[in-house]
Structures are given as C-alpha cells and as structure tokens.
C-alpha cells in the first residue's frame, strides 16, 4: 500500500498515511464531538466537545502508529529489514523486506503490535483512575483507553491477516514443522472469522445500530477477501520459489524507440507484433516508459506523423525494472495499472524481457499448479526444524531461510 502523505521517519523507518487513514481521523472527531463526549459529560457548550475531540483524534492516530512501529522495531531487532509503515482506514500495514525465517521470529513480530495496544490501554486506564481533572478530558482519556484495549483484543483474533492470524500461523508452523500447512490453516481461520463478522454485522444492522453494523460487515468482508488473497499469494510464492525472472519473462519483446515517429512505428512494429504494449527505450536500450496499442489507437491518425513515441509513453517506475537473476517471487510485489507491463527485465541496462498482465496470470496459474496443497514447503520445514526443539517464542539463532525473497507484512485492521 502506497502512502498518500509521508510523515517522515522514526528510527530510520519511513512513515506514511494512506488517504483513507485521514478519513478515519475525521470520523473519530465526528464520533467523539457529536456522540461520545456529549453522552459522557452532558450540558457543556458544543465547542468544548469538538475541541477535545480534535485533540483526541490525533492521539488515537498516534496509538495506531505505535502499534505498527512495535511490529517494525521487533522485526528489525530480529534481523528483518522494514520497508515502510503506512496507516490506513482499517489500521496499518508494516511492510517487511522478507518473511520470518522461524516460527519464533514470526510470533514475536506479530504479537508486538497487539501487546503494545493493550499496554497503551492499560497505561491510559491507570491514568483515568489516578488523574483527578476536568470531566471532559477524563472522558476522552477513558475512551482512548477502551479503544486501545479493543484494538489489541481484536487484532489477536485468530485469523489471517490479523496479527492473531499470524500468531496462529507461527504456532501451527512450530507445531507441525510445515509452513505450507500453517499457511492453509491461518487462511481458513481468517475466512471463517470474516464470515462470522459479516453475519454479526448484518444482525447488528437490524437489531442494534445500522452504522455500527455496516462497519462490522465492512471489516468482515475485508478479512474474508484478504485471507483468501493471502492464501493465494503464499501458495504462488511457494510455486515460484527457486525460479528467476529470466525463467518466467517473455524474452526479446518488440521495443518502441523513444525517438521514433509514431506513424512509422505503428506501420513497422505495432501492426505486426503480437504484443499489446511495448517497452519504450532510449538510445542505449534502457527502459524509459511504455506505450500501448490503445494509447496509439486513441490518437488521431493524422497526428501520429511527426509525433515521437516518447510523447505518448507512460513513465515506467524503476522498482518494476528487474534483473534476469532476481527471484521470480519479486513479480508478486509488482502492481501495474491497465495498459502497462507488470515488469520489465533488463540486463546491463538494456531491456531483454517483459512480463505483462496476461503473462502474470499464466505464471501464477502455473505456480499454483507447482505448489500442490498437500506438499510440504521444504524451506518452511527447514526453518521449523531449526526452532522446533523449543517453544515458539524462543530466539531464532538457527533455522534455514523460510522465504527470504518474499515480502512479509504485519498489520491489523
């Protein structure tokens, strides 16, 4: 998930907020100012409620950030790099450079966030008991305490992709010494939990609160879809393990020289090619963008003469330019808008291959076939064997790589 607003860095970790996260701040302010605080402390001027609500909402947002930073800092302490922390509508996402190598590492990283939220809730509750101040700030403090406890408890529910689902995954991995089996178990638990929440939300709509019920349905629907998607991604990652980008790319694609005239390129290449999108390259053969048949067709024929290809090309992000020797699993990290290649493969600065959306669908289908549901994940098994002699929370000084080329994520709704 890409942030819409960057907040800087904490301990070298990039922080950001997706636009939907900013929406939650507005919702919290409205909820506190219009309902929670007036009900807790009635009879005060309206501006008092809204003023305290405007201060409380950013504090709540900071507690979400603390939850995600706990994941990130524990991961880094366990030797796993952290790409970023992004807050969004349903909580936050901590993007890791690789997956945990052992059950003990996964357990520590996954539990850190909920335990932090529970700790914040406990500290705030203690402050509520001790502090003797104005009633309105006291009510806001009590709300923050309750919400953080609820956040910690909810995230510990045993279903992927919640933190509790990852805790369950770590325990299943340690118990069975089979990462693939743990993947399937955590995914099934997540789907089941999501469907239970959807059903509970529908009942809540008719019996208690329409707004609260819709929110519960939204969370349940998200959990169900995310659990299914995570299961597919993990299975595909297994199937791609051991392959390189050079193994899955389409070699020698037709290229679009950036300086070429569109009319000449259309006649000599586009109309004769089996491709629907073309990498745009400069004089050295390095990728600079991409141009699609749809984009060319949308331009009036009389305007193609005298128009260079690069005037119509879309810039191509450098993070989606991979090398032939890169692990094929990296293709799962590439997300491309319609009309663009998913990834370009370059060697010595020159484009030598390409992966389109159609190629990716075929590749993932083949990867799923390679990864049979009953097969054992050898890498995950090795990692489990390395830490299976002790408790799942023990230090992971040994253990083989359990998917180091993948992208791990810890974060809850």
pLDDT at 372: 54
Min mean pLDDT across 69-78, 263-272, 327-336 is at 327-336
Q: What is the mean pLDDT of residues 68-87?
A: 92
Cβ atoms of 396 and 101 within 8 Å: the answer is: yes
pLDDT at 395: 35
Residues acting as catalytic residues: 68
User: Rounded to whole angstroms, how far apart are CA atoms 337 and 24?
Assistant: 27
> 3-state DSSP: the chain helix, strand, coil percent, rounded to 5?
55, 15, 30
Cβ atoms of 227 and 157 within 8 Å: the answer is: no
DSSP-derived 3-state class of residue 82? strand
Min mean pLDDT across 74-83, 165-174, 213-222, 368-377 is at 368-377
Give 25-46 pLDDT, tens digit per residue.
888 899 899 989 999 999 889 8
User: Rounded to whole angstroms, how far apart are CA atoms 253 and 346?
Assistant: 11
pLDDT at 92: 82
DSSP-derived 3-state class of residue 185? helix
Q: Is the pTM of this model over 0.85?
A: no
Task: Give the whole-number percent of the chain exceeding pLDDT 90.
Answer: 45
Q: Which among 151, 161, 45 has a CA at the least distance from the CA of 94?
A: 161
Q: What is the 3-state secondary structure (H, E, C) of 16-77?
A: EECHHHHHHHHHHHHHHHHHHHHHHCCCCCHHHHHHHHHHHHHHHHHHHHHHHHHHHHHHHH
> What is the overall mean pLDDT for the chain?
83
CB atoms within 10 A of CB 9: 11
């Amino acid at each position: 998930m890409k942030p819409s607003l960057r907040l800087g860095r904490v301990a070298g970790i990039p922080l950001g907020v997706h636009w939907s996260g900013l929406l939650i701040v507005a919702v919290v302010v409205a909820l506190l100012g219009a309902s929670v605080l007036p009900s807790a402390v009635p009879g005060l001027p309206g501006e008092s409620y809204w003023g305290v609500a405007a201060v409380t909402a950013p504090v709540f947002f900071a507690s979400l950030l603390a939850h995600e930073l706990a994941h990130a800092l524990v991961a880094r302490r366990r030797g796993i790099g952290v790409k970023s922390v992004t807050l969004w509508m349903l909580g936050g996402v901590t993007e890791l450079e690789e997956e945990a190598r052992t059950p003990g590492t996964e357990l520590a990283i996954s539990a850190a966030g909920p335990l932090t939220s529970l700790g914040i809730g406990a500290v705030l509750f203690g402050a509520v008991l001790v502090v003797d101040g104005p009633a309105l700030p006291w009510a806001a403090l009590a709300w923050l305490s309750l919400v953080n406890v609820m956040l910690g408890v909810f995230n510990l529910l045993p279903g992927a992709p919640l933190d509790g689902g990852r805790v369950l995954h770590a325990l299943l991995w340690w118990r069975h010494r089979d990462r693939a089996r743990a993947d399937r178990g955590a995914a099934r638990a997540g789907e089941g939990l999501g469907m239970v929440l959807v059903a509970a939300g529908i009942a809540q709509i008719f019996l208690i609160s329409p707004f609260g019920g819709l929110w519960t349905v939204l969370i349940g629907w998200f959990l169900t879809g995310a659990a299914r998607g995570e299961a597919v991604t993990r299975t595909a990652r297994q199937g791609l393990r051991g392959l390189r980008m050079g193994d899955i790319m389409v070699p020698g694609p037709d290229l679009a020289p950036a300086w070429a005239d569109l009319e000449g390129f259309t006649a000599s290449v586009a109309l004769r090619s089996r491709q629907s999108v073309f990498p745009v390259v400069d004089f050295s053969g390095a990728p600079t963008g991409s141009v699609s048949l749809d984009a060319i067709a949308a331009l009036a024929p009389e305007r193609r003469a005298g128009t260079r290809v690069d005037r119509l090309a879309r810039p191509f992000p450098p993070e989606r330019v991979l090398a032939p020797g890169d692990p094929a699993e990296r293709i799962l990290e590439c997300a491309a808008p319609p009309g663009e290649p998913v990834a370009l493969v370059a060697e010595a600065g020159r484009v030598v291959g390409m992966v389109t959306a159609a190629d990716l669908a075929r590749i993932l289908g083949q990867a799923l076939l390679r990864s049979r549901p009953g097969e054992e994940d050898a890498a995950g098994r090795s990692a489990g064997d390395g830490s299976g002699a002790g408790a799942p929370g023990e230090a992971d000084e040994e253990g083989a790589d359990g998917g180091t080329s993948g992208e791990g994520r810890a974060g809850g709704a």
